[in-house]
Amino acid sequence: MRRLNSQFTTKYISEAGTRAENKDYFGFVEMDNVACWVIAEGYDKDTTISSAKLAVDTVISEFTKKPSLSKRTIKRCIKEANRQLKLQSSKFHLKASILVVVSNYTKLRYAVCGNCRFHIFRGSNILEKSHDTSLYQEMIQEQEIVDDGEKGIEESRNLLQYLGKQGHLKIKVSKKKKLQNEDILLMTTWGLWEKITTVEMLDTLEDAKDAESYIDDLQDLFLSKQTNTVNNHTIATVFIAKVFQEKNYTQKIIKIAIMILIPVLIITAITAFVNWKAEKKRKEIIATVEKIEKRGDSYIAEEDFDRALREYENAVEQSEELKKKTGKKGKQNTAIKERLEVKQKTAEYLTDGEEAYSSQDYENAQKSYNKALKEAKNDIDFYDLLDKDSIKQKQDFCQDAKYISSLIDLADAQVELADYIAAAQNYSEAKQIAAENGDNTAINDINLKIKEMQSKINEELQQQIEQQQAEEEKVKQEQQQQAEEEKAKQEEQKKQLETDGGAIELEADALLAEGNTETAKQYYQQSLQMYKEAGSIEKASAVQKKMIDADTVAKQQQNDVKAAEGDAYVLNGDNFLLENKFVEAIEEYKKAKEIYSQVKYTDKVAETIEKITAVQTQQKENDIAEQKMNIGVIEARGDEALKLQQYDKAKEFYLQSQALYQGINDMDKVAVVQEKIKVVQELQEEIRKAREEQGIPQ
């Protein structure tokens, strides 16, 4: 009665979040000597069957029939759940992840198929954590990426093994784990652990008083990290207050041995017998394993990979009884196990490859074949046993098949877009490659698609021809009717246009007589257009002559207006000239000249040029007089300095005025200033000599 002598408390929460339904399920059974906990998550869209509940119920039902902690029992239960999911799949393909934990209240084993997660906590440490059967976990194990702290990335949903999978299902069962008092088990679905890390699970555990408070705290932490969407999530925990203590017979045996004083010789004999018995059993196991292994090898040679895999799995299971030892026997045991693991993995990859190959899943088939060859190289003898040419041929076929599939998909899309020429080219290329590989299925498929495309082309052509004929007949009738209506309408319009053109012509004559030439021209233009449209050529010619006469009158009027504008500029120039504003006067005269030139009033152009020349001459004379006056001021400053006997300043002013007189070409004044400079220089010389005679320093 192990259950009564231990304390295991199980609590769980399973909720749908914001999803329409809960795809998770948890169940457990606690029997007198063993217990089983099962958690699952469904992935299909079937609303009538819960794949997670079906898997959990099946495992618990199978387990209770023959409860045990053996790997064989756990695998049997999971395989039966997998079989039931396949059997119940009808409208939808049922799929699920599953985690199974079994215990005899002293030890436990667990198995994972999918991405449900299992933890064993001891104290403040993580004792055990399960691995997923996902691409994410495989990438971590093969060191393609680093573990990102268990926050979960999209590849964790890309499962390599799961219930409902087509082909061989690989199930890994853990070794037995010995339990201790105060150990805590935690089982979660992906919806929770992808948001909560192991460290956060441990931190939450520190404040938990019991199993119920622990899962409540975990759910609160989970919900605090959500936004608008909350995934399905299931949390199950087992708090182990006390494990079942098995009786310890060692001390009793020792006491008995001491009490009866068993002779050393007897003990030695017994030990030797036990060793002999163990070695005999070991050899029997090795012989059995090798016999099974050889059957597997023969199936490999025959390319019956499914049977080979079952033999290798059986051999691996049998080899688990070979204990780890030191020395030669230990190495032999290890070598046997490693060799069998290589063959089992290789057979699994080949089985998966064959399954994918048969299902025309050529991409996964190629990956499985590559993995098989890579794994087989770990055992050269086994690698040589494989028919590598056959595998290589299938790999090449997979590569071509993927290319054929891509060509067909492209051609299908081009057919939908009515790009039939490009589609035919791609179908033809795909058919040629399929013919080279002898892929009759692909050839038949392509031929059917080509036939469907040709039928579609013919239908569209026939529809286009019929539609075009109908449209042409309709257009022909409409054109004939329109022509008749248009002819009658045109005759009526011509009469009306001729009448309207005559009325507008009379209005134009009146406007021209009043001197309103611009408006008259517009009316004449309207009348001319109407006569032309009415086909009245004689009246149109008469109107054109009137328009020419109107243009002549209008042009003369415009010239008169322009000439008046030029006269105004001349008057402005005359006014500026009276004020001696020569620049402004010239600018006004130039404006007048430009206008007179435009209207070709040559007499006024000549008069304006004479005015400009006279102003420029007067401006120049005025500028010279002003300059002479300014230079005279400088010269007068020199005279003033001379009177004050400031000879240097006087000379400076005279030289400045001399240069300015030279600039305006007044040579008479230049000569006068030069005489004054000469007088200054003579006075300066007399002063210098007088100082020399008196001995005064210069």
Residue 470 belongs to some domain of the structure: no
The answer on 300 and 235 residing in a single domain is no
Q: Which residues of 633-644 are buried (b: 16+ CB within 10 A; e: fewer)?
A: ebbebbeebbee
Handedness of CA 253, 258, 259, 265 (dihedral sign): positive
Residue 69's identity, in one-letter code, is L
Nearest residue to 200 via CA among 218, 227, 224, 225: 218
Contacts with 308 (C-beta within 8 Å, 6 or more apart), sequence order: 296, 297, 299, 300, 343, 347, 350
Nearest residue to 14 via CA among 2, 27, 1, 26: 26
The answer on 338 and 242 residing in a single domain is no
pLDDT at 324: 64
Nearest residue to 487 via CA among 479, 477, 475, 498: 479
- Pairing type for strands 177-178 and 184-188 reads unpaired
- Six token digits for residue 55: 């898997």
Give phi and psi for 671, each to the nearest 5: -65, -40
Residue 99 belongs to some domain of the structure: yes
3-class DSSP state for residue 447? helix
Residue 602 belongs to some domain of the structure: no
d(CA 587, CA 572): 10
The CATH code of the domain that includes 316 is 1.25.40
Which tens digit of pLDDT belongs to each residue from 114-154? 999 999 999 889 999 999 898 888 888 777 777 655 555 66
- Residues with pLDDT less than 70, the chain: 147-154, 247-258, 263-265, 268-269, 271-279, 323-327, 556-557, 697-698
Angle between the N-to-C axes of helices 327-358 and 362-376, in degrees from 0 to 180, rounded to the nearest 10? 160
CB hemisphere CA count around 630 (13 angstroms): 12
d(CA 30, CA 8): 9
d(CA 263, CA 257): 9
Nearest residue to 353 via CA among 395, 416, 411: 395
- Give me the count of residues in the chain: 698
Nearest residue to 59 via CA among 163, 131, 160, 132: 163
The answer on 207 and 92 residing in a single domain is yes
d(CA 219, CA 203): 14
CB hemisphere CA count around 586 (13 angstroms): 13
The answer on 109 and 229 residing in a single domain is yes
pLDDT at 65: 95
d(CA 110, CA 108): 7
The answer on 215 and 92 residing in a single domain is yes
Please give the angle made by the CA atoms of 422, 457 and 465, to the nearest 5 degrees.
125
Residue owning tokens 């948001």: 195
Residue 662 belongs to some domain of the structure: yes
pLDDT at 272: 60
d(CA 13, CA 494): 94
Residue 635 belongs to some domain of the structure: yes
Indicate the residue among 336, 354, 386 that finishes a domain: 386
Give phi and psi for 102, each to the nearest 5: -125, 150
Residue 514 belongs to some domain of the structure: no
Range of the domain at 305: 265-386
The answer on 50 and 161 residing in a single domain is yes
**Three-class SS string for 135-155?**
HHHHHHHCCCCCCCCCCCCHH
Q: Are 401 and 360 in contact (CB under 8 A)?
A: yes
- Six token digits for residue 511: 């406007």
d(CA 329, CA 671): 140
pLDDT at 279: 63
Reported for 11-14, long-range contacts at CB under 8 A and 24+ positions apart, including other chains, are 11/211, 11/212, 11/214, 11/215, 11/236, 11/237, 11/239, 12/215, 12/234, 12/235, 12/236, 12/237, 13/215, 13/216, 13/219, 13/233, 13/234, 13/235, 13/236, 14/233, 14/234, 14/235
The answer on 274 and 237 residing in a single domain is no
Q: How many CB atoms within 10 Å of residue 33?
A: 13
pLDDT at 276: 67
Give phi and psi for 44, each to the nearest 5: -85, 175
pLDDT at 166: 85
Q: Are 319 and 340 in contact (CB under 8 A)?
A: yes
Q: Are 62 and 44 in contact (CB under 8 A)?
A: no
* Total number of domains constituting the chain: 3
- Six token digits for residue 533: 């449209």
The answer on 301 and 182 residing in a single domain is no
Residue 120's identity, in one-letter code, is I
Residue owning tokens 């130039």: 590
Which tens digit of pLDDT belongs to each residue from 303-313? 888 888 898 88
Handedness of CA 30, 31, 34, 36 (dihedral sign): negative
The CATH code of the domain that includes 659 is 1.20.58
Indicate the residue among 345, 366, 386 that finishes a domain: 386
The CATH code of the domain that includes 143 is 3.60.40.10
Q: Are 2 and 106 in contact (CB under 8 A)?
A: yes
- Six token digits for residue 497: 């246009």
Give phi and psi for 246, each to the nearest 5: -80, 150
- Six token digits for residue 147: 């573990």
Compute CA distances 433 → 112, 402, 427, whole Å: 43, 11, 10
Please give the angle made by the CA atoms of 220, 221 and 225, to the nearest 5 degrees.
110
The answer on 270 and 134 residing in a single domain is no
The pTM of the full predicted model, rounded to 2 decimals, is 0.43
- Whole-number CA gyration radius for the chain: 58
The answer on 217 and 271 residing in a single domain is no
Please give the angle made by the CA atoms of 446, 452 and 453, to the nearest 5 degrees.
90
- Six token digits for residue 67: 């409860």
- Pairing type for strands 233-242 and 96-103 reads unpaired
Residue 1 belongs to some domain of the structure: no
Residue 574's identity, in one-letter code, is D
The answer on 235 and 120 residing in a single domain is yes
Handedness of CA 378, 380, 381, 385 (dihedral sign): positive
Q: Are 345 and 357 in contact (CB under 8 A)?
A: no
CB hemisphere CA count around 577 (13 angstroms): 20
Q: Are 101 and 187 in contact (CB under 8 A)?
A: yes
The answer on 298 and 222 residing in a single domain is no
Residue 209 belongs to some domain of the structure: yes
Indicate the residue among 386, 407, 429 that finishes a domain: 386
